[in-house]
Structure 1
C-alpha cells in the first residue's frame, strides 16, 4: 500500500495515516481513480469505507473489514460516538475568547454554482466546531490550533476558519492569496481518533503527529 501507513489492524478494522494529496475514495475521471481505499483494497479486499478526509488533508482514517463492521462503525459516526481532533496552522494571530475551548457554530451550505466550495448560509446544515490555540508564531503571523468537529460536514473546518478570517495555510479553496503562499500544502492533519471497537467494545485511541 504505497504511501499509506497502517497504524492499527485486526480482523475488524484498519486505522490508516493518509498522506496529503491522496484521495480517500475514487473521484470522477480516469485521473482520479488512485486513492487510499483502492490501495487498501488491493491488500484487503473486504475493506470498506466508513468516513473520508479531504484530498489535501493528512492523518488518521478508519476503514471497516466487512459489512458488519461497516454498519457498526457507520452507526457510531452517525451517533457522534467517534471523536476526532485535528491540528491546523492558520493565517494571523488568532486569540480564543475563552480560556480553553471556543466554539464556531455556523451553518454550512454547498455553494452550488461554485461546487465543491461550501459557504456559511442560514439555509445550510447546522455545523459546530470546537477549537483552541496551541501556539502563536508572531514572526510568521500564524497560529497553530487544535480543532474538534462536533458535526461532520464536508470542508467544515476549512469553511469555519475562513469565517473567522483566519484561513488554514495552503488552502486553495478557502484561503487568501497571502495564506495560500505561506505553505505548499493544506496545513490540516487528523491527529487523534477515538472510537469503540465494533466487536470487543474496547475503547481505542489513536494519535498521529502532524508532519508540519
Structure 2
C-alpha cells in the first residue's frame, strides 16, 4: 500500500527536505524510505537532492514491518478505523502497552492480534496512553508514516482529548483552570505530586452535574499538557480526588478510579477531515446507584 501526496510548495525544495519539513517525516523513517527505493515522484524513481516542482505527485509506500508486540486474542471495541489509524474504546483494568516482554495482556497485544487478523504488517504504535484503570478513547497508527505524523500532531497539541471524571465532594465552582506544576513523589514511586520544581501542567474543568445525596460531582476535563496522572493530581489538589482513587486521597475504594477518556478529536494526517469520536460512559465508571443516570447524560 502507499499514499499519494501533491506538492503544494513552489519554493523548489529537494525531496529529502520536503518530506522532513513539510510532511513531518522524522530522520530515521526518511532513511528507511530512501533505502526501500519505493518512493516515487510522478511515478518515477527520484533524485532525492533535486528540487520538487509545485504539482508533483509523491508516492510514499507503507513499509512492511514485523508485527510487535506479541499477539494475544482479545475482544477490542473499535470506534473508528481507516487504512491509516485506529481508535479503540479501552476498558478499565488493562494496560495500554506491555510492561515487559513476558507481559502479553496489554491492549497493544490485543491490537497486534487484530493486525494479524487484518493482515496489517506493522508495529503496534499507540499515539498516547491511558492509565490501567482509565477507560475510553485511545489512538493507534496503522503504519510507520501515519505514526510519525500523528506523533507530530500530538506534540503540537492538535489532537484534543476530553475526559469525564466523577470526583468526591460537591464542587463550588462551575468551571476553572488548574495551573500547577507536577513532579515525581520521592516518597512513593507510583505517585506524582504538585511540585514547584515539576513540569508545567494545565487542566481545564467544567462541572456537568452535582449529586448531593452521594456527595459526588461529574466533571468534564481537557488538558493543555499531558503529564503522568495529571487529572488525578490536579483534582486531588483541589480537595476533590477522583472517586475510587485512593492513591490520591479518595475515601472510597473501588476496582477502578472514575476517569474516562470520553472524546477524541484528531485532524486526519492525510485528509482534510477532522475525526471526532466519543466512547460511551461504561457501567463501572462510578457507583451502581449512579451508573444508569450517568450513562444517559
Structure with greater strand share of residues = 1
1:41 counterpart residue number? 112
Instruction: Supply the distance in 2 between the matched residues of 1:28 and 1:167 (Cα, whole angstroms).
Output: 30
* Structure 2 residue 202 is matched with structure 1 residue 128: yes
Q: Is the 8 A contact 1:3 1:19 kept in 2?
A: no
- 2:128 paired with 1:51: yes
Question: Within 2, Cα distance between the matches of 1:140 and 1:114?
Answer: 30
Structure with bigger RCO (C-alpha 8 Å, 6+ apart):
1
Structure 2 partner of 1:107: 181
| CA RMSD across the alignment | 1.5
Match of 2:88 in 1: 16
| 3-state SS of paired residue (1:169) | coil
In 1, Cα distance between equivalents of 2:88 and 2:281 = 14
Structure 2 residue 156 is the aligned partner of structure 1 residue 82 = no
How does the TM-score come out when normalised to structure 2? 0.66
Matching residue within 234, 257, 261 for 1:190: 261
Name the CA distance, whole Å, in 2 between partners of 1:29 and 1:118: 26
Q: Separation in 1 of the partners of 2:98 and 2:168?
A: 31
List alignment gaps of at least 5 residues for structure 1: none
Displacement after TM superposition at 1:5 (Å):
0.3
- Structure 2 residue ranges without an equivalent (≥5): 1-72, 116-120, 286-297
CA contact (8 A) 1:86 1:147 kept: yes
TM-score, normalised with respect to structure 1: 0.92
CA contact (8 A) 1:88 1:188 kept: yes
Render the CA deviation track for 1:115-165: whole Å, top value 9, x for unaligned.
121000000000000001000000000000001111111100000001001
Larger Rg: 2
Task: Tell me, yes or no, if the aligned pair for 2:126 and 2:138 is still in contact at 8 Å.
Answer: no
Q: CA deviation at 1:53?
A: 0.3
